[in-house]
Chains A and B, each alone.
Chain A
Amino acid sequence: MAQILIVEDEKPINTLIKKNLELVGHRCVSVFDGESVFDEIEKQDFDLILLDIMLPKLDGFQVIREIKDIPVIFLTARGAVEDRVKGLKLGADDYIIKPFDMMELQARVESVLRRTQKADKLFYLGGVKVDLSGRQVFFKDELVDFTPQEFSLIEVLIKNRNIALSRDKLLEIAWGYDFGGDTRTVDVHIHNIRKKLGWENVIKTVYKLGYRLEVGK
C-alpha cells in the first residue's frame, strides 16, 4: 500500500486512475494543476507521483524540477521520443503513454515502488500470509507447500487484486510469453491454490473472462 499523488487535469482520467490504484490497495490524492502539487506534498508524504505533462499553470516538466526524493511517473499523450527522453532526463522513473490499460498502469506503478523499496513485502488476507520477498505462503502460521509456478500465479493475483485477469493474461504474466501451455493449465493451478488456502470464495471466477482475487477495499 502506497500513498500516491495523481496530477492530471482531465477529471475523468484522474478519477479513473485513482479508482484503478485504489483497487489494489493504494491510497490516492488527486490534483488538477501543476501548482497544487506543492501544497499537497507539503501536507503529507507520498511514495509516488503520477504526473501529466500538459497541465494548467505549471507543466509537468516544470513541476518535476522542483520535486525531490519522490519517484515520478509521467503520464503523457505525447508519444514523441524527445518528450520521453526529456522526461526521463529530468529524473522521471518511468512514463505511461495515453491511452494506457489498467495492467500496464499497475505494472509500472508496482515496478517503481519495488525499485524504491516501497512495495508491499507481506500480504495478509484472513488466515493467509504471503511473504512476497521470501516467496512463502503461510496458512494460520503454518507453511503451505507451494510449487514455484503456483507462487508466481498467486503473486500476480495479489498484485492485481480486485482486477479480473483473463486466463491468457495470467498465462502471459505468470508463465511467460514462451509458455506453450493451454489455458486449462491456469484452471488447474487456480484449483490447487483455492484448495490449499480455502480460497474458493476469494478467487472468483469471472464470467467469460478469468479470475479475480477479491479483497475488501
Chain B
Amino acid sequence: MRLKTFLATYLLFVLIFFTSLGAVSVYMTSSQLNMLREKSEAEFKTIAASLAKDIAVLSGRNLDFMDFEESVHDLVDGYARYYKKNNISLELENVSDAAAEPKTELFFATRGQKHFLLISGVLSGSFQYYRLDYSCDISQNISGLERVQNILLLLAVIFSVITALALYTILSKIFKPLGIVSRTSRKIADGQYNERINIKGRNELSSMAENFNRMATEIEKQIHLLEEEASQKQLFVDNFAHEIRTPLTSIYGYAEYMQKARLNEEELIESAQSILNEAGYMRNISDSLLELAMLRQYTVREQRVSLPNLLDSVAQSLRGLMPEKQPEIICVCEANVLLGQEDLLRSLLLNLGVNAIKACPSAGGVIRLEAKEAVGLIVLAVTDNGCGIPEESIAKVTNPFYRVDKARSRETGGVGLGLALCLQIASAHNAQMRIDSKLGHGTRVEIIFTTP
C-alpha cells in the first residue's frame, strides 16, 4: 500500500516535472534562436544597405568592369575583415547571369562540429545582381544552450532524488499509524488483549484509533468475563470432585471391608451405618445442587407473604433443631407484607437461622430474626452472637463448597452449599444479601429487597 502510493505519486511527479522542464528548455532554445535570428537579420540588413551605398559610390566613378569588380571585391573584403571578429563571414557574389530572386533567405546549417546561421539575399536598389551571403558562427550560443540544458537536467535529477526521499519520509510518517494499527490488531488477534494504539492528534486516524481502542477494551472485558466464568466453573468442578471424594472413599472402603473381613454383627451394622451416612451426605449435596440449578433460571411466584407469620414459623422450626444448644430466638417484626415466594423465603431464613445456631456457643446464644422497613425497602435480617466469620472469609462464604471450618461443618451435616443457596434465593427475589461479621462477636446477615 505504502509502496504503491509512493510509486504512483512519484511517477506522477517525475512526469510533470520533466515535461515542464522540457517545455521550458524548448521555449528557452527557441527564444534564444529567435533573438539570434533577429539580430543577424538586422545586421544583414545594415551590411547589405551600406554595401549597396558603397557600391553605388564606386559605380559613380566610371571604372571599367574589371576594376569595378576588383574594387567591389576589396570593399567586401574590408567588411569581411571587420565582421570576422564577430564570427561573421561575408561573401558577395555576382549572380547577374542566374535568375536571382529578389528575396532574402535564412536558414541554419551544421558543418561538422560547428553551427551556422546563414542569410543570403540580393542587395537593394540597382545592385540586385549582387547576392550577399551572410554566415554567422553560432556554435558558441548553441553549446551555451546545451550547457544550460545539461545543468537543468542534472538539477532535475538531483531534485527528483531529493523529492523521492522526502516523499518516502512523508509517506512513512503518514502510514506509520496504519502500521501501528495493523501490528496492534495482530497482537490482539494473537490473544494479547491488553494492547492499545497510541495515536495522538485530531484527525481521522486518531478517531479511528480511539474507536479501535474502545473495541479492544470491550473485547478484553468480554474475554475477561468469559475467563472468570470459566475459572469459576472450574473451581466449582474441582471443589465438587473433592467434595464427593470423601464420602466415596468411606462408602467404597466400608463396602470392601464388609466383603473381605470377617465381621461380627455389631461391626456389620456399624459399617452399614457408615455407608448409609455417607450416601445420605451425598444425597444432600445432590439435592442442594439441584435446588441451586433450578433457582438459577427461576422466576418466583409472587404472593403476599405475611412477615409476622413467616418469622414465627421459622423461629418455631429453629427451636426444634439442635435442642442441646437451646439458643434464645427473638423475633422483631416491624413490617407486615412482602411480595415473594413463601417457601423459598422460609428456606432462606431457615438456612441463615441454622447457620446462626451452629455459630452459637452451647449456652447463652441469642438469635434475632428481624423484618423491618427502611427507606421504603423491606429488610430481613438474622443476627447471632456466635463465633463470627474471619474477615478474609466473608467474601467467600457464598461460594459453593466453601467452609470456614471444614471439620466442624461436616460434623454438623453441612455440605457447604447453604449460603450459596441463600444468595441464589435472594437474587431470584431481586434482593441483595449483605454479611457483616466480627470474629468472636457474631454475624448479621441482611437481605435487602429492592422491589417492595
Report which A residues bind B (CB closer than 8 A): 9-10, 12-13, 15-17, 19-20, 23, 32-33, 54, 56, 77-78, 98-102, 162-165, 204, 206, 209, 212, 214
Of the residues A15, A56, A77, A163, contact of B260 by C-beta under 8 Å? A163
Flag whether B266 is at the interface (Cβ < 8 A): no
- CB of B97 within 8 Å of the partner chain: no
Find out whether the CB atom of A212 lies under 8 angstroms from the CB atom of B249.
no
Contact across chains for B259 and A20 when beta carbons are under 8 A apart: no
Contacts of A77 in B (CB 8 A): 242, 245-246, 249
The reply to whether A100 and B249 form a contact with Cβ atoms under 8 Å apart is: yes
Smallest Cβ-Cβ distance to B411: which chain A residue: A11
Residue of B nearest to A217 (CB): B262
Given contacts A15-B274, A98-B246, A102-B253, contact A9 B261 (CB under 8 A): no
A17, A98, A165 — most chain B CB neighbours (10 Å): A98
Q: Is the Cβ of B407 less than 8 Å from the Cβ of A56?
A: yes
Cα A204 to Cα B406 in complex, Å, equals 43
- The A/B interface has a contact count, at CB < 8 Å, of 73
Closest to B281 in A: A12
- Which B212-257 residues have a C-beta within 8 angstroms of A? 242, 245-246, 248-250, 252-254, 256-257
Contact B274 A212 (CB under 8 A): no
B405 contacts the other chain (Cβ, under 8 Å)?
yes
Contact in complex: B249, A13 (CB < 8 Å): yes
Cα–Cα distance between A19 and B248 once the two chains are bound (Å): 17
28 sample A-B contacts, Cβ–Cβ < 8 Å, listed by A number: A9-B406, A12-B254, A12-B277, A13-B246, A13-B249, A16-B253, A16-B254, A16-B257, A16-B274, A19-B257, A19-B267, A20-B253, A33-B407, A54-B406, A56-B405, A56-B407, A77-B249, A98-B246, A98-B249, A99-B248, A99-B249, A101-B252, A101-B253, A163-B261, A164-B259, A164-B260, A165-B260, A204-B262
Proximity string of chain B (283-305) to chain A, C-beta cutoff 8 Å, 1 when within and 0 when not: 00000000000000000000000
Q: Do A99 and B252 touch (CB < 8 A)?
A: yes
Do the beta carbons of B260 and A212 come within 8 Å of each other?
yes
Q: Name B255-281 residues within 8 Å CB distance of A.
A: 256-257, 259-262, 267, 274, 277-278
Residue B410 CB within 8 A of the other chain: yes
Whether A164 contacts B253 in the complex (CB less than 8 A), given A15-B274, A56-B406, comes out as no
Given contacts A15-B274, A99-B252, A99-B253, contact A23 B407 (CB under 8 A): no
Contact B262 A214, beta carbon cutoff 8 Å: yes
- Contact, CB under 8 Å: B261 / A23: yes
Of A20, A54, A212, which contacts B257 at CB under 8 A? Answer: A20
